[in-house]
Amino acid sequence: MADVIKITTPLTSEVVQTLHAGDSVLITGVIYTARDAAHKRLVDLLDAGQPLPVDLTGHLVYYVGPSPARPGKPIGSAGPTTSGRMNAYAPRLLAIGSRGMIGKGEMNAKVAAALQQHCGVYMVAVGGAAALIAKSIKANETVAWPELGAEAIARLTVVDFPAIVAQDCHGGNIYQEGIAKYGIK
């Protein structure tokens, strides 16, 4: 079994270059949440030449719609949502300095190319492990568009947030490699 790699956000291109598809990572630092509605607003702002409500430089965006927090907890269950819905937006965020994203499921070829072009990384969190993932989240602050509810942008402070590198800046892709390895057609 491979060693777990500990990384701290914000990420540098040097750190991203050390990561390869299949690596297990534990993330500490700040990650931002955003889903479909927030991504559309972010790209609309970029298209209009307006500033974003958060600086994503070096940061990861977690595709999550968390459940409400229980008393005394920063967040409820916080499992990943399907990443493919953000395929249209992810390249734009990588181009402005985001270092990548966390979700579930494979991202498309345009995102893979953007990961290589902008030195980014796409990681997956285990679907079905939302309560376990939530234990690594120590703080949760809505920072933009609270009217979007669970789709608002939040700043999460995480300690040892577990993820697996799915698509890397070198062109590695665990989804494609797994199909090839096991001869799946």
Q: Report the predicted TM-score, pTM, of the whole model to 2 decimal places.
A: 0.94
- pLDDT digit string (tens) for 138-179? 999 999 999 999 999 999 999 999 999 999 999 999 998 877
Q: Which one, of 157, 140, 174, lies nearest residue 60 by Cα?
A: 157
The pLDDT, as a whole number, for residue 139 is 97
pLDDT score for 146? 96
Q: What residue type is 29 in one-letter code?
A: G
The pLDDT tens digits of the residues spanning 129-147 come to: 888 899 999 999 999 999 9
Backbone angles phi, psi at 64, to 5 degrees: -145, 145
Strands (E), the chain: 4-8, 24-33, 60-62, 100-103, 121-124, 137-144, 153-167
CA 30-33-37 angle, 5° bins? 155
Query: Domains of the chain (ranges plus CATH)?
Result: 4-166 (3.20.130.10)
